[in-house]
Amino acid sequence: MGIPAKDRYLSALCDRLARRWPDNAAVNIICHGHSVPAGYACTPWVDTLHAYPHLVRKTLCQRFPYAVINVIVTAVGGEASPQGADRFVSDVLCHKPDLVILDYGLNDRGPGLGEAERAWRSMIEMALDRGAFLMLMTPSWDQTWFSKDSNWRALEAHAAQERALAGEYGVALGDSFAAFQRYIDRGGDLQDLLSHWNHPSPLGHELIAREITCWFTAR
């Protein structure tokens, strides 16, 4: 099927966001995942106002000034995708999402590729069955980049798996992994993007937010 075009996949949702009162209605965007969307910075410090769910809402409210936009964070620090799948109905689908953003790649090195794939497929299919749009996030980076060890290679593998799933199901991809790579390729320092060994800094969250908001074309 392939990853859809960025100016087309969320076109119907962008049309809804452009409607003015009294023809508009609330749009619910759910950020489901681990500590990164939950807003953890230098653990145990939580900095939600610089985390990408808040930045996404801020940008979309500027781009669609007549819209009622709810960005609902159902992320749990320390969780991996199997736990996220277990509570998907009770914690995500209960909000009647218009768009679900899934971000578990950093922690899915724990359960491994096979178990993570089953969990991601379960969540993807439940969301699609409810008529929601989906965006799959590849992982942001951590300090294993410096050592290029087995943990880093596992992170690369999960990023590749999430890209493959987005292509298979024909849903949006927020490629945080590639965004961090571009920053480094342009001469940036990875420490600019990290507030902790595995949590993004405000700048890191900005890069992730742009990977999401580029799918929303202004009307």
Burial, 151: exposed, middle or buried (Cβ in 10 Å; 0-12, 13-18, 19+)? middle
Number of domains in the chain: 1
- Report if residue 94 sits inside a domain: yes
Three-class SS state of 82 = helix
Domain that holds residue 167: 11-213
- Report if residue 79 sits inside a domain: yes
Mean pLDDT of 152-166: 98
Cβ–Cβ < 8 Å for 31, 72: yes
Q: In the numeric block, which tokens belong to residue 212?
A: 């999401």
Q: Is the pLDDT of residue 194 over 90?
A: yes
Mean pLDDT of 184-188: 98
- Report if residue 1 sits inside a domain: no
DSSP conformational letter for 42: S
Q: Is the pLDDT of residue 144 over 90?
A: yes
> What is the percent of the chain where pLDDT is above 70?
100
- Report if residue 218 sits inside a domain: no
- Report if residue 190 sits inside a domain: yes
Mean pLDDT of 147-153: 97
CA 104, CA 78: separation in Å to the nearest integer?
A: 10
Identify the CATH number of the domain in which residue 160 sits: 3.40.50.1110
User: Is 0.95 topped by the overall pTM?
Assistant: yes
Q: In the numeric block, which tokens belong to residue 82?
A: 């199997």
- Report if residue 4 sits inside a domain: no
- Report if residue 219 sits inside a domain: no
- Report if residue 2 sits inside a domain: no
- Give which of 119, 35, 52 is closest to 84, Cα–Cα: 119
Mean pLDDT of 175-196: 98
Q: Give CA torsion, residues 16, 20, 22, 25, to 10 deg.
A: 30
